Structure 1
Amino acid sequence: PASASSQPASGPLSAAPYSVRQSVDANGVTIREYMLPSNVVFAVTWDGPVRPNMRALLGSYFANYVAAGQSGVRGSGPLIEGNDDFRIESAGRLGRFFGMAWLPRLMPTGVRPGDLE
């Protein structure tokens, strides 16, 4: 019948390849952690009035962040660095900072960094 065709299709789209856990830190920074079904975090994004505590946010990957910051040109421009193991994009100005860090090898098939908000 016609009513059956108006139902949304269920299938691969209904099962996202990841879940998102969102929190807001004490400074008002919104942090989103993107997790695989195995509860492994493969990406984080942030957006807020200040830069988040990067050591707490990145954990064992903090050293990669420090190395990325030191390899780039010093200044107030955006940080876009990384390799096959760890990538980071961070930008902002007084009152608004945002960015994301991700592990390319753990990114689900078909998901691009630009898909994460």
Structure 2
Amino acid sequence: MIMSQFRMLAIAAASFAIAIPAHAGLGGAPTYPVTASSTSAGAASQNSAAVARFAASAGAASTNYTVSQTTLPSGTVVSEYIGAGNTVFALSWQGPTMPPLKTLLANYFPSYVQALTDAHATQGGGYGPAVVHQSGLVVETGGHMGAFVGRAYLPQALPQGVSADDIK
């Protein structure tokens, strides 16, 4: 009896996993739907505050990328910086909880975890911001309970005219 219930539960879980839509992330397609309030270089938007924030961060550089902001149910705001080929080259977040980094970092998540593990081993542990600076991946996250901030980007994928300082 217990074995058949276990099998039914396993089958249900497997079918649920198959039904979950695939998400991309850093280095792939946007994780969240790009909405009408997303902002593009030189494009008008329905969300004037986001446009003003984008224009200030983009400066005078003529770039071709979009910033799509999504507010998660927790209240955390995730910004995905989307470049050519509908590819996310950077992320930033701010809010009361950490966003799902495993989902957002996608294929780069194992590198991030390994870098943190290596740093933890060489530095003898500790608390504070989690920072990974590699040639192909930068992740900076910090804050405190109820107020987390961070960003992640692929240095080699930054569009021409965009610097790390533009990822906010």
- Does the TM-score normalized on the shorter chain lie above 0.5? yes
Equivalent residue letter for 1:63: P
Question: Judging changes above 3 Å, is the alpha-carbon distance between structure 1 residues 103 and 95 closer, same or farther for their aligned structure 2 residues?
Answer: same
Task: Identify the residue that residue 82 of structure 1 maps to in structure 2.
Answer: 133
Task: Identify the residue that residue 27 of structure 1 maps to in structure 2.
Answer: 74
Q: Say if 2:97 and 2:147, in contact at 8 Å, map to a contact too.
A: yes
Instruction: Please state which structure has a larger fraction of its residues in helix.
Output: 2
Distance 1:68 1:47 in 2: 22
38-47 or 105-114, larger mean C-alpha shift = 105-114
Task: Identify the residue that residue 55 of structure 2 maps to in structure 1.
Answer: none
For the pair 1:96 / 2:147, whether they are aligned, the reply is yes
Question: Size of the alignment, in residue pairs?
Answer: 106
Unaligned runs of 5+ residues in structure 1 are: 1-9
Instruction: Please state which structure has a larger fraction of its residues in strand.
Output: 1
Q: Provide, for residues 27-73 of structure 1, a one-character-per-residue CA deviation record: whole Å limited to 9, x for no partner.
A: 11100000113111100101110111111111111112211221224
Q: Tell me the C-alpha RMSD between the 2 structures.
A: 1.8
The match for 2:86 among 28, 39, 46 is 39
TM-score of the superposed pair, with normalisation by structure 2: 0.58
Q: Matched residue of 2:86: which SS?
A: coil
For the pair 1:114 / 2:165, whether they are aligned, the reply is yes
Please list every run of at least 4 consecutive aligned residues from structure 1 whose deviation after the TM superposition is greater than 6 angstroms: none
Distance 1:84 1:39 in 2: 22
Equivalent residue letter for 2:83: L
Equivalent residue letter for 1:35: I
Deviation at 1:89, TM superposition (A): 0.5
Q: Say if 1:72 and 1:79, in contact at 8 Å, map to a contact too.
A: no
Q: Provide, for residues 90-109 of structure 1, a one-character-per-residue CA deviation record: whole Å limited to 9, x for no partner.
A: 11101101101111110112
Task: Identify the residue that residue 64 of structure 1 maps to in structure 2.
Answer: 111
Equivalent residue letter for 2:142: A
TM-score of the superposed pair, with normalisation by structure 1: 0.81
Give identity over the alignment, percent.
Answer: 34
